[in-house]
Amino acid sequence: MTPDNIQFRTGFIKPMECLKEGWALIKDQYWLFLGIVFVGIFVGSAVPIVLIGPMMVGIYLCFFRRMRGEPVEFGTLFKGFDYFAQGLIAALIQMIPMVVIMVPFYIIMFVLLITSMPRGGGRMDPDASFRFMFTFFWV
């Protein structure tokens, strides 16, 4: 197949087969992999932009070792810090677009919240209070 003659064929990726192969890969060490993923995400979320990259690299290193038939240990998770710069760059590439999208959304949401607050003195009727609490569900 030449670069000029690229064919697109459907039906070659079967999601259920992928799930079955993934389960077969980890089922005998399920709790170890669950712990690796849980601790990796927990540590990575402590300082998200800085630590999530190396933790994800460590999680993938564990899965790749398992795929090659090599023994997987819990400490392999922290070998992701050997690739700190690469993991940080990958995390930035993923997070910068999310921040660019989410910051304007939060600004708009805050402005809508402030502008929809009930004004005036005295007591607020229960219906107005209910409408204020659920303003964003009726937009």
Select the more confidently predicted residue: 19 or 126. 19
Cα–Cα distance for residue pair 59/125, rounded to 1 Å: 53
pTM above 0.75, yes or no: no
- How far, in Å, CA of 92 to CA of 51, rounded? 11
> Phi and psi (nearest 5°) for 47?
-135, 85
CA–CA distances in Å: residue 114 to residues 20, 58, 121, 132: 50, 43, 16, 10
The domain limits of the chain are: 16-96
- How far is residue 36's CA from residue 47's CA, in Å, rounded to a whole number? 18
**Number of Cβ atoms within 10 Å of the Cβ of 60:** 14
Q: Give the tens place of pLDDT for each residue, 8-40.
A: 677 778 889 999 999 999 999 999 999 999 999
